[in-house]
Amino acid sequence: MTQVRPQSGAAGVTVNGPQILDALPHPVIMVGPEGAIEAANMAAENFFGASAAVLKRHPISYFVPFGSPLLSLVEQVRERGAPVNEYKVDVGSPRIGPERVVDINAAPVSERPGAVVLMFQERGMAEKIDRQLTSRGAARTVTGLAAMLAHEIKNPLSGIRGAAQLLESSAAEDDRALTRLIMDETDRIVKLVDRMEVFSDERPIEREPVNIHVVLDHVKRLAESGFARDVRIIEEYDPSLPPVFANRDQLVQVFLNLIKNACEAIGGRADGEVTLSTAFRPGIRLSVPGTSERVSLPLEFCVRDNGAGVPADLLPHLFEPFITTKTNGSGLGLALVAKIIGDHGGVIECDSQSGRTTFRILMPAYMPHDHSINVRTD
C-alpha cells in the first residue's frame, strides 16, 4: 500500500520509487546487465506467480520459453539504447501459464548501463489490432455483398425509377409527390450501393513517397472552407518526419473523413477544436500474420477532437461496416478508412472518452533503395 508523508516544512508529499511502481496496475520488472531480475513491483509478482524475493533469484530467461522474443527485445534495447515496444508477444510457459499474450514496453535505464525496464500489458494494442482484423473480415463480407448488390439491385432500381418517371408525367398533382419520393429513394439506394462497391476494388494501389504535411494542409483548407468553418484546427507536426509510401488521393479521403467526423462530434460547441498531429515512433512494431516478420510502423498521424466521444459499446466495432452513431449515417465511412489504411500496411485505432477522442493511424515509412527521393509536394 502506498504511503505518503508530509515533507518537513512543506505542504507537499513524497512517494519513493518502489511505492510508485507498486501503485501501477501493470507488471514492471528491471532486468540487469547479466539478465537477472533485479526489481519487480506487486503486479509483476502476481503476473509471474512468485514473490519479488523469488524473482530476484532467477534470470528472466528462467520464466519465459526458450528463444522467446522477450529475450531478443531486451538485447535490442541494450544495443540501441532507446525504448522499443513489442505487441502481441506470447510469453506463456509452464512457470507463468499458457497463452500469456502481452504488449511489452522496454526501455533502458540511463543510471545503470545494460539494465532494461520491462512493462507488460495484457490488454492494449494487440486487442485493437485483432478487432481491426475482424473489421477487415467484415469488410470482405461487404465486398461480396457489394458485387451482388450491383447486379441484383441496381438494375431493378433503374426500372423502378423509370416507371416512376412515366407515372409522374400522367399523375395528378397530389400523386406526383409520391412518384418523386420513389425516385428520390431509389437514387439514395443507388448511391449507397455505389459506396459499397468501393470495398470490392482489389486493384493494386498506386503509391509514391508522400509528404503527409502537404496532405494535411490540403485537407485543412478543404475543411475550413466547408464543414469546419466554425471549428478551430490546431496543427502539432514533426517537421522532420520522413515521407510515407502511400496513395495521396486516398490519404486525402481518409483525413477528410476523420476530420468531418470530428467536426460532427463537436456539434455546435463554441470551443470546438480539432487537433492534427504527426510524430515519429521508432519503437512501434507489429507482427505480420503468417510469418515471423515484424514490421515497423514508425509514422503516427492523429486526429483529435473535444467532442462528446464515442459510446463505449460501439468503440470495439467502430471500424465495422454499417456501424454508426449518426441518425442518417450509412456506417461505411470508417470501414472504408480502415480498409484504405489496411491496404497501405498500417493500422488505425480509436481512443475515446467524453471531451477527447483520438483516431491514431500508424503507417510504415518510405524506405528508398537509394538516397534519391522524389517526394510528392503538390
Nearest 5°: phi and psi at 63? Answer: -100, -15
Q: Sheet of 116-121: strands edge to edge?
A: 37-40, 28-31, 116-121, 101-108, 84-90, 284-287, 294-296
Domain-located, residue 6: no
Least confident among 103-117, 126-140, 161-175, 193-207: 126-140
Instruction: Work out the pLDDT band at 291, boundaries 50, 70, 90.
Output: very low
Domain-located, residue 245: yes
Looking at residue 315, its pLDDT comes to 77
Q: Are residues 338 and 232 in the same domain?
A: yes
**Cell 452513431 -> residue:** 325
Domain boundary among 67, 99, 123: 123
Q: Are residues 44 and 154 in the same domain?
A: no
Give the residue-averaged pLDDT of 85-94: 80
| Nearby residues of 295 by Cβ (< 8 Å), 6 or more positions away | 285, 286, 287, 288, 345, 364
Q: Are residues 140 and 224 in the same domain?
A: no
**Cell 532494461 -> residue:** 116
- The total number of structural domains that make up the chain: 3
Give the pairing of strands 84-90 and 284-287: parallel
Domain-located, residue 251: yes
Looking at residue 375, its pLDDT comes to 46
Domain boundary among 68, 100, 123: 123
Q: Are residues 113 and 157 in the same domain?
A: no
Radius of gyration of the chain (CA): 26
Q: Are residues 212 and 359 in the same domain?
A: yes
- CATH number, position 254: 3.30.565.10
Domain boundary among 73, 100, 123: 123
Nearest 5°: phi and psi at 336? Answer: -70, -40
Q: Are residues 259 and 298 in the same domain?
A: yes
Domain-located, residue 378: no
pLDDT tens-digit readout, 198-241: 555 566 778 899 999 999 999 999 898 888 888 999 999 999 99
Cα 359 to Cα 260: distance, rounded to the nearest angstrom: 12
- The structure's pTM equals 0.52
Q: Are residues 226 and 343 in the same domain?
A: yes
pLDDT tens-digit readout, 93-129: 877 776 677 888 899 998 889 999 999 887 555 455 5
Closest by Cα among 218, 270, 212 to 241? 212
Q: Are residues 163 and 116 in the same domain?
A: no
Domain-located, residue 233: yes
Instruction: Work out the pLDDT band at 14, boundaries 50, 70, 90.
Output: very low
Residue range(s) defining the domain that contains residue 60: 14-123
Domain-located, residue 372: no
